[in-house]
Amino acid sequence: MAKRKTHQEECDILVVGGGMAGTGATFEARHWGRDLKIICVEKANIDRSGAVAQGLYAINCYMGMQWNENQPEDHVRYARNDLMGLVREDLGYDMARHVDSSVHMFDKWGLPMMKDPKTGRYQREGKWQIMIHGESYKPIVAEAAKKSADKIYNRIMITHLLMDENDENRVGGAVGFNMRTGDYHVFRAKTVIVAAGCLRVKDNFLDGQSTLLFDKYTLSRGNDSKVYTVDINPNSTNICKKVVSSNVEITTDDSVHYLNLLCSNFLKNKTNPSMFYLDSFDVDWRYTYPSAAHHLKELTSITRLLNKNTLIVVDDSPAFGNLTQTEDENKTSWKILNSPAPSIGGKGFLVHEYARHVGANVVFSHYQTAWNGFNN
């Protein structure tokens, strides 16, 4: 067997991942750091990697401020209504006022845009979207990244982040291997940007799966960390076994039955899990009860194992509020009704009801919601 080589690189900015976020970060890094050494590392090839590798037919948001079609405050109002008032209006406004310049940049780079031949305006589908011939979307952005980076490394799978030897809370680089040659690569950087996705189905880069992320985290963390995962679909567990490391224990079973057995084993062996991530039953947003009930069953099957610090996270559980418009017709602001109070929806709404009654705490609530303190 040929001896594997070790390659070492030092840079100012290391971008891990060459999807849309990674290539965009590479371009922006050059804009703000003109004299810096920038490296982008991608496990596939940046020309056709990431969530839009197959192209898009539309850009989802364009204000059209140059033609006075919309203004940033219009989009903030739309987002406020759509999300029932639970929105950071300052961030929404800031994104809306910059989005047109990004679209104009894509146009300048050569992205084919559908335009009205008479007015020159972009053709719309609805109020916010504009139509594009988007098969070349990713290659065009990848080309901008190539011109921005000092080096692009394709086919390098990053496996671990390196911590700074002088600062335990700072990432100082990354290591990985060449997927074609097996050579080892060590990158040291002053700044590391991670913009990497994960696989849900093998060779499908359009979707994700949390198990792979947890696997990579525990591998980098060490200290005998381990991931346990369950799925009732044998096809899913077989695919998962091919993707993740031996650090993940994969079981095909009903999740409630499995968690009850796992709980008994953990109590017997005095194992204290740090987190349970509940995401086994797809949610139907028209009727969320079946999914929410299943995740409550999962929680009750492990309750005896929980301590005050055990984190319970449920995916697809956004906050929602009950809103009404102010009585002043001259103002279009909204206010949250105190009764019923804002709560958690989606998969986690019954878990949240249980958590409220037993005095558990909400740790964070975004699209996912997390609680601890079930057994204080």
pLDDT at 30 over 90: yes
Nearest CA among 195, 191, 182 for reference residue 162:
191
Q: Which pLDDT belongs to residue 321?
A: 58
Residue 332: the pLDDT is: 57
The β-bridge partners of 40 are 15, 152
* Per-residue pLDDT band at 205 (split at 50, 70, 90): very low
> pLDDT band at residue 199, thresholds of 50, 70 and 90?
very low
CA distance 41 to 91: 29
- Percentage of residues in the chain with pLDDT exceeding 70? 89
Q: Which two tokens stand for residue 50?
A: 């990431």
- DSSP H stretches of helix in the chain: 20-32, 72-82, 89-109, 137-148, 210-221, 234-243, 255-269, 289-302, 349-358
By three-state DSSP, how is residue 314 classified?
A: strand
Q: What are phi and psi of 23, to 5 degrees?
A: -65, -35
Question: Cα–Cα distance between 366 and 79 in angstroms, integer?
Answer: 15
pLDDT, averaged across the chain: 85
- Residue 60's φ and ψ, nearest 5 degrees, are -70, -20
What are the C-alpha distances in Å from 303 to residues 111, 263, 284, 360? 53, 9, 26, 12
Domain ranges of the chain: 1-55+152-197, 56-134, 273-372
pLDDT of 338 higher than 80: no
What confidence score (pLDDT) does residue 322 get?
A: 54
Report pLDDT for 343.
77
Pick the CATH number of 1-55+152-197 from 3.10.450.50, 3.90.1010.20, 3.30.420.40, 3.50.50.60: 3.50.50.60
Least confident of 109-123, 164-178, 235-249, 304-318: 235-249
- Chain centre to alpha carbon of residue 106: 24
- Is the pLDDT at 282 greater than 90, yes or no? no
Q: Are residues 267 and 226 in contact, defined by beta-carbon separation less than 8 angstroms?
A: no
Least confident range from 57-71, 131-145, 223-237, 329-343: namely 329-343
**For residues 272 and 307, what is the distance between their CA atoms, to the nearest angstrom?**
8
Q: Which of 176, 244, 253 is nearest to 6 (CA)?
A: 176
Mean pLDDT for 216-245 is 80
**Structure pTM?**
0.55
Looking at residue 206, its pLDDT comes to: 41
How many C-beta neighbours within 10 Å does residue 374 have? 21
pLDDT of 335 > 60? The answer is no
pLDDT value at 330 more than 70: no
Average pLDDT over residues 174-194: 89
pLDDT-wise least confident of 19-33, 115-129, 209-223, 255-269: 209-223
Given a cut of 60, is residue 217 above it in pLDDT? yes
Is residue 19 within 8 Å of 137, Cβ to Cβ? no
The yes-or-no verdict on residue 170 having pLDDT over 90 is no
Query: Is a pLDDT exceeding 70 seen at residue 341?
Result: no
Say yes or no to pLDDT of 360 above 60.
yes
Cα dihedral 236, 238, 242, 243 in deg (nearest 10): 20
Task: Give the pLDDT band (50/70/90) at residue 107.
Answer: very high
Instruction: Flag whether pLDDT at 357 surpasses 60.
Output: yes
Q: Is pLDDT of 168 > 70?
A: yes
Among candidate residues 353, 267, 250, the one with its CA nearest the CA of residue 304: 267
Helix/strand/coil for 364: strand
Supply the pLDDT for residue 365: 83
- Percent of residues, the chain, with pLDDT higher than 90: 47
